[in-house]
Structure 1
Amino acid sequence: MLITAEDMSVTHGAAAVLRDVNFQIEKGEIVTVIGPNGSGKSTLIRALLGVLPPSSGRIRRAKGLRIGYVPQKLSIDASLPMTVRRFLSLPVRISDDVALQALTRTGVEGLADRQMVDLSGGQFQRVLLARALLSRPDILILDEPTQGLDHPGINAFYELIEQVRQEIGCAVLLVSHDLHVVMRASDRVICLNGHICCQGTPSVVRNAPEYQALFGVSDSSALAIYEHHHDHIHDENGCCHD
């Protein structure tokens, strides 16, 4: 296992944001976290990254685990000159060859000399992904990486994530609100609303009463499900209830 959460809870002041969270992430799988606004998705990511300590329970990480992180938002001062190439060398300088390899892997090899503030939304996210890949991660953690992208851009980015997963064999933990794409692109889905309402393969979660109560039966029935080879591993787990 790469990361394991055991009875993990996180509080902000007196308010419990997450409670009794239990799950594991295995090598090579794509796990997507979904949930309504305020459900604790970003808090979960920050806890897994070690930014927020659990108020109870614990998080286990594999020894020497390398994490690549793509944040939900990254603001760069428009008055600050910052080329893509320079951005990739922050905070640790890398060679031109390594930078080019990372940009090529994410399909933006021609942007090295472009200013970061001049990138489109899709280009910006691909550069962030290229930077996350520099550490040769065992797991990529992405917090709503397609926010602000149009539908073709969303599909293209998820296709890129799948391609990267196949190329380097990393696991992917993704927070997303793109339900129709999530159900095609994920091996496992975790439905969060302050706690884990349900989890399992896309087909299991789609039919879970907890999921349908949050997102609507009509939306659930309209989702297209893509079966991954991991489905048969997780189907027996069904849906976790609190």
Structure 2
Amino acid sequence: MSLIEAKGLSLSYGAQPVLENVNIAIEPGEIVTLVGPNGSGKSSLVKVLTGQLKPDAGKVRRKPGLRLGYVPQKLALERSLPMTVARFLNLPERRDPEAIRRASKETGIEGLEHRQVADLSGGQQQRVLLARALLTSPELLILDEPTQGLDQPGEAAFYLKLEHLRDALGCAVLMVSHDLHVVMSASDRVICLNHHICCEGTPHVVRDAPEYRALFGYGTGGALALYQHEHDHHHHHQHDHDHDHV
């Protein structure tokens, strides 16, 4: 059974159509990347899938009792607000210390517990948000533009981390990406959205689709760069932990 299945979704803000007859299903364990230009309806689609927004038409069916983990675009914290990583991970309610220890290890944030969240680098904050989302043992992890503000090595390291988490935890991943030209090569499917679904398929199929090129064919000649995962990626582990931007 699909984790989430949506059929015939339509949504308008006033006279402005945001989603037009969108069909989407996410299966257990798959990585799906959703790309589209600004204002294409990506965030609205995520909100409809998670139940934060009600569509004007269409139906969303979630697996009963679906455990969802959600990673927002960035941390909305007042810089002046003192908040340690440990405290943040225990919001809104106290969590099992063992679950926190596991999530911290899985996301590579061990040792940051007593640091102020506001003092962390962008990449470290993303990992803290990811750790918090993992505390629900999600079957589906939804990330809304998680690599915004990271440089390309930081982005690549984040993708490798996600791929590793999917393999380790067996959860499905839906990642909304702001970067039209760089898609995690481990994506099982890439969906291009521009109010409706323009094209979808494996990264290689989408890269060559005329609809993709028509939408995004500027700057890099429409090429879609894929972050390869080298399966003998022992040398990546160094990168994974040290750089501040990771």
- Residue number in structure 2 paired with 1:220: 222
| Structure 2: distance between partners of 1:73 and 1:104 | 21
| Structure 2: distance between partners of 1:222 and 1:21 | 23
- Of all paired residues, the percent bearing the same amino acid is 61
The 1:185/1:178 distance shift into structure 2, 3 A limit, reads farther
1:202 aligns with 2:203: yes
Deviations 1:145-185 (A, max 9, x none): 00001111101100000010001100000001334431513
Q: Secondary structure at the match of 1:146?
A: coil
Following TM superposition, by how much is the alpha carbon of 1:14 offset from its aligned partner in structure 2, in angstroms?
A: 2.5
Deviations 1:172-201 (A, max 9, x none): 000013344315131100000011011111
Q: Secondary structure at the match of 1:20?
A: strand
| Structure 2: distance between partners of 1:101 and 1:190 | 32
TM-score (norm 1): 0.89
| Structure 1: distance between partners of 2:97 and 2:51 | 31
What are the within-5 Å matches in structure 2 for residues 1-242 of structure 1?
1-216=2-217, 219-221=221-223, 223-224=225-226
Following TM superposition, by how much is the alpha carbon of 1:37 offset from its aligned partner in structure 2, in angstroms?
A: 0.8
Do the aligned residues in 1 keep the contact of 2:32 with 2:189 (CA within 8 Å)?
A: yes
Runs of 4 or more, structure 1, over 4 Å off, are 224-227
Q: Secondary structure at the match of 2:191?
A: strand
Do the aligned residues in 1 keep the contact of 2:139 with 2:172 (CA within 8 Å)?
A: yes
- Residue number in structure 2 paired with 1:231: none
The 1:129/1:185 distance shift into structure 2, 3 A limit, reads same
Q: Which moved more, 1:76-85 or 1:164-173?
A: 76-85
Following TM superposition, by how much is the alpha carbon of 1:116 offset from its aligned partner in structure 2, in angstroms?
A: 0.7
Do the aligned residues in 1 keep the contact of 2:75 with 2:125 (CA within 8 Å)?
A: no
Gaps of 5+ in 2: 230-246
The 1:114/1:214 distance shift into structure 2, 3 A limit, reads same
| Structure 2: distance between partners of 1:165 and 1:224 | 18
| Structure 1: distance between partners of 2:160 and 2:93 | 29
Deviations 1:98-145 (A, max 9, x none): 212111110011101111101100000000000000000000000000
Do the aligned residues in 2 keep the contact of 1:85 with 1:112 (CA within 8 Å)?
A: yes
Q: How many residues align?
A: 227
Do the aligned residues in 2 keep the contact of 1:33 with 1:191 (CA within 8 Å)?
A: yes
Q: Secondary structure at the match of 1:185?
A: coil
Following TM superposition, by how much is the alpha carbon of 1:226 offset from its aligned partner in structure 2, in angstroms?
A: 5.7
The 1:203/1:225 distance shift into structure 2, 3 A limit, reads farther
TM-score (norm 2): 0.88
Q: Secondary structure at the match of 1:112?
A: coil
Please identify which structure carries the higher helix content.
Answer: 1
Following TM superposition, by how much is the alpha carbon of 1:12 offset from its aligned partner in structure 2, in angstroms?
A: 1.3
Do the aligned residues in 2 keep the contact of 1:203 with 1:225 (CA within 8 Å)?
A: no
Do the aligned residues in 2 keep the contact of 1:202 with 1:225 (CA within 8 Å)?
A: no
